[in-house]
Amino acid sequence: MELLMPGLGLIFWMTVSFGLVLYILKKFAWKPILNVINQREKQLAKSFSDAKRIDYEMSQLAVVKTSKLAEAEQIREEIIAKAHADAERIIEEAREKAREEARIIGERADELIAAYKKEAMQEIKAQLSALSLDLAEKVLREEFSDRERNARYVDKLLEKVTHN
């Protein structure tokens, strides 16, 4: 029954020992414990405010990132458009150059054709002249005694024929 009903001496010594422990704790432990708790509370408050600030900065960075991405997309589109324009310009310049080269080649071909035609005409003239001389020589051998005079006469006749 003693456990259920403690004696007055036990209560006194329990109170004294509890008071002593309370005094020792207050003197040596409460201040460091409260300082640690206060520091921890301040650190938590600072961490919470830092978290809010970081969250705000992250949202600002997201806005900046979005605007920078839009700006980069616009620059990319401008670069692509410029590249397309440059490609079209280069293609058109190449076409013009090819047209000019084709025209020059055509002119050279016309000049060569004209030169070959002229050369062929002169060659035909010379052959016709030689044939005419041979023929005239055979036919008129008796009438013309000088071959050089005969050649000049045939050339003169051929020039009249070619001009007509």
Distances in Å between the Cα of 117 and the Cα atoms of 16, 124, 125, 164 are 142, 10, 12, 18
Rounded-to-integer distance, Cα 22 and Cα 10, Å:
18
Residue pair 146/160 in contact (Cβ under 8 Å)? The answer is no
Q: Which of 6-20, 71-85, 124-138 has the lowest mean pLDDT?
A: 124-138
Long-range (24+ apart) CB contacts under 8 A made by 18-27 are none
pLDDT at 143 over 80: no
How much is the pLDDT for 2? 59
Q: What is the CA radius of gyration of the chain?
A: 61
Distances in Å between the Cα of 161 and the Cα atoms of 118, 127, 128 are 16, 15, 11
How much is the pLDDT for 27? 85
How much is the pLDDT for 9? 83
Residue pair 158/128 in contact (Cβ under 8 Å)? The answer is yes
Q: What is the mean pLDDT of the chain?
A: 86
How much is the pLDDT for 7? 78
- Per-domain residue ranges of the chain: 44-163
Secondary-structure percent of the chain, ordered helix, strand, coil, rounded to 5: 90, 0, 10
Give me the percent of the chain exceeding a pLDDT of 90.
54
Question: In this structure, what token pair is assigned to residue 22?
Answer: 């309370």
How much is the pLDDT for 32? 85
pLDDT digits (tens, 9 = 90+) for 48-100: 999 999 999 999 999 999 999 999 999 999 999 999 999 999 999 999 999 99
Q: What is the model's pTM?
A: 0.42
Rounded-to-integer distance, Cα 92 and Cα 103, Å:
16
